[in-house]
Structure 1
Amino acid sequence: MLTFEEKLAIIEEFKQLEKREVSLGRVNFHFEDSLYDKKNVVYHLHPNGNGFVYAGELEDYSADDRGMVNIRDFEADELHALVEAAIDSLAATPAEKNPVLEEWLNNDDQSLVLMREEDGYNVYADEDLEGTFNSYKEAANFLEQEGFSRI
């Protein structure tokens, strides 16, 4: 297990994080450039080596109901990778995290493009916006109802 000082040194390598001291000698690290309400990347790093890193946007980690992963027993490379992934997940829009760009055709060889963008899913005919949808399922249902199939 890494010591508090070793964990602190790894986390302080990330210059985009702001260190904030809290009670009982614990330290938090905030990512002020987060695109989301969540800014606390490292939570309550304690002198005993315990602490948490936010992984609520990550699929590869088992997080608690707050999206936090306990880093008590992490090795240096594991901690570095988790903090880096946490920052990346808070710096990317949903469209950047899970891009969608699909072409759909109908029986008349007309094509439409389904694209995930900041505000949801948009359907385009060339450069003209044909529709905006809150979910992929809504957009796909629209295209199917209009006689289009994904290529």
Structure 2
Amino acid sequence: MLTFEEKLNIIEEFPELEKKEISLGRVNFHYEESLYEKKIVVYRLHPNGNGFIFAGEIEGYPTDEKGMVNIKELGADEIRTLLREAIDSLSLSPAEKNPVMEEWLNDNDQSLVLMREEDGFNVYAEEQLEGTFNSYEEAVNFLEQEGFSRL
């Protein structure tokens, strides 16, 4: 297990994180450039070596209900990788994380394009916006009701 100082040195390799001292010798590290309300990337790093890294926007990590991964037993490379992924996950919009661009056709060979943009889904006929939807499911429902099917 890495010591508190070793973990601190690893975390401080990421200049985009800002150190915030809290109680009992613990520290948090904030990512102020986050595109989300979530700003704390490293949570309650304790002098005993325990602490957490936010992975709530990353797939493949076992997280608690707050989206945190306990780093007490992680090695240096694992911490670096997790930190990079955490920062990246807070730097990308939903459209950048999970892009959608699909072409849909109807029986008359008319085509529409479904795209994820910002926090919603838009349907275009060439350059003209045909509809804006809050979810992928809503957009698909609209397209299917209009007689379109995915290519």
For the aligned pair, the TM-score class normalised by the smaller chain equals: over 0.9
Tell me, in whole angstroms, the C-alpha distance in 1 between the residues paired with 2:142 and 2:61: 35
Question: Which 4+ runs in 1 deviate beyond 4 A?
Answer: none
| Matched ranges for 1:131-150 at <5 A | 131-150=131-150
TM-score between both structures, scaled by the size of structure 2: 0.98
Describe how 1:84-99 pairs up with structure 2 within 5 A. 84-99=84-99
Cα deviation 1:6-57 (Å, max 9, x = unaligned): 1111111111000111111111100000011110000010111000001111
The corresponding residue for 2:126 is 126
* Rounded Cα–Cα distance in structure 2 between residues aligned with 1:119 and 1:19: 30
Q: Per-residue deviation at 1:119? A: 3.3
RMSD: 0.7
Q: Give 1:59 shift.
A: 1.3
Structure 1: stretches of 5+ with no match in the other structure: none
Q: For this pair of structures, how many residues does the alignment match?
A: 151
TM-score, scaled to structure 1: 0.98
Q: Secondary structure at the match of 1:137?
A: helix
Give secondary structure in 2 for the equivalent of 1:147.
coil
The yes-or-no answer on 1:5 pairing with 2:10 is no
Which secondary structure state, in structure 1, belongs to the residue aligned with residue 144 of structure 2? helix
1:1-151 matches, within 5 Å, as 1-151=1-151
Q: What secondary structure does 1:53 align onto?
A: strand
Unaligned 5+ runs, structure 2: none
The Cα of 1:133 is off from its aligned counterpart by 0.5
Identity of aligned residues (%): 74
CA distance in 2, matches of 1:78, 1:94: 25
Q: CA deviation at 1:138?
A: 0.6
Alpha-carbon distance in structure 2 between the residues aligned to 1:29 and 1:60? 22
